[in-house]
Amino acid sequence: MTIGEASQGGGDEVVEVCPALTDAELDELFGASWPDHRPTSFAPMLARSLIWIAARRGGRLVGFVNVVGDGGAHAFLLDTTVHPDERRRGLGIRLVRAAADEARARGAVWLHVDYEPHLGSFYRQCGFRSTAAGLMRL
């Protein structure tokens, strides 16, 4: 399902809910965005997802966010990724807001996210507020 389109420079940006994605295009996006990324199979991750949102510009994958759920009120935002060439244009915020809307439509009441301190401003712009939480490294 296409959420919206916005024409900006190098072609149309198309944001979709749960589109078909290949390992190659996800690896390309994650490799450009995360220096420590190693090629992987994404099928097991997507099979456990509540939803994912992807953005393409000119047919190229330029953004992705994943949402997993507990089957009830709680959903968790993971892997918010925007290609370095596309950053600081609002795409990440559009992806996260689309993910929140879709999670709500599927019954989630709470959307959780963990992030590093330097991303606090971004997530506040997306509508998140800080809360106390616990974390255990396994």
Question: What 3-state DSSP class applies to 34?
Answer: coil
Angstrom distance (rounded) from CA 76 to CA 98: 14
pTM of the model: 0.88
User: pLDDT tens per residue, the chain (138 residues)?
Assistant: 666 544 344 458 899 999 999 999 999 999 999 999 999 999 999 999 999 999 999 999 999 999 999 999 999 999 999 999 999 999 999 999 999 999 999 999 999 999 999 999 999 999 999 888 887 888
The answer to whether residues 66 and 79 touch, using CB atoms and an 8 Å cutoff, is: yes
Partners of residue 110 on adjacent β-strands: 74
Angstrom distance (rounded) from CA 89 to CA 50: 26
Q: CA dist 15 to 7, 50, 60, 98, Å?
A: 12, 17, 12, 9
The answer to whether residues 87 and 48 touch, using CB atoms and an 8 Å cutoff, is: no
Question: What 3-state DSSP class applies to 61?
Answer: strand
Is the domain spanning 2-126 CATH 3.40.190.10? The answer is no
Measuring CA to CA, which residue among 19, 93, 74, 87 is closest to residue 52? Answer: 19
In angstroms, how far is CA 46 from the centroid of its own chain?
12
The answer to whether residues 76 and 112 touch, using CB atoms and an 8 Å cutoff, is: yes
